[in-house]
Amino acid sequence: MSELQSVIAIGFVLAGAFFMFVGSIGLLRLPDFFSRTHATGKSDTLGIMLVIFGLAIYEGFNINSLKLMLAVVFVALANPVGTHALVRAAFKQGLKPWFKDVSEKKARKG
Amino acid sequence: MEKVFTYIGIVLTVIIAIPFIRVIKGPTLFDRLLGAGAIGTKTIVIICLIGFAMGRIDMFVDIALTYAILNFIGSIAIAKYFELERGENE
């Protein structure tokens, strides 16, 4: 039982670390602010949820794993909300979205 | 088993260094804020892993929850501030 528990926990933690790595690469490589928010808003949230869920599986069923699940729920609620608030502030400040070429921008405007 | 958590913590520290590049060279202010928020949310996981590696998860999980709440409130407060400032100037 404990061996299986450890293997499942390590699998979850490694999957979460992979998603966090992908989110970091996206934050570095994507072209503008509004597309970079995809990386931290979705991929990072999934990665953090997977890592903490794996740690809760490793811990077993007690008060600490309950608190870890509370952290999972809080991250799932708070991280997209914070990212969305930042995007909303940037859009109200007048930051322009990025377009691939100029003709598409003209088509969108006109 | 605790050694595995130590190694994963080292890997996550390297992963945290990647948004720090964005914080340093971000073209706009919001890029820097986004990178700082990403670093803050990844630090929650680092704190939990440190707790498992040291065998004191009962103490470190409370620190992780508090850090998550403070990071969220800071992000929301900065976003609200920039939203309001433009409205007063116009």
- Give the tens place of pLDDT for each residue, A32-87: 888 999 888 899 999 999 999 999 999 888 898 999 999 999 999 999 999 999 99
Does residue B34 sit at the A interface (CB-CB below 8 Å)?
Answer: yes
pLDDT of residue B83: 81
Place of tokens 């450890």: A6
Does residue B62 sit at the A interface (CB-CB below 8 Å)?
Answer: yes
Query: Which residues of chain A have a CB within 8 Å of the CB of B19?
Result: 24, 27-28, 40
Burial of residue A45, with CB atoms counted within 10 A of its CB: 0-12 exposed, 13-18 middle, 19 or more buried? buried
Query: Which residues of chain A have a CB within 8 Å of the CB of B66?
Result: none
Q: What tokens were used for A80?
A: 């997209």
The model carries a pTM of 0.86
Q: How far apart are CA A79 and CA B39, in angstroms?
A: 12
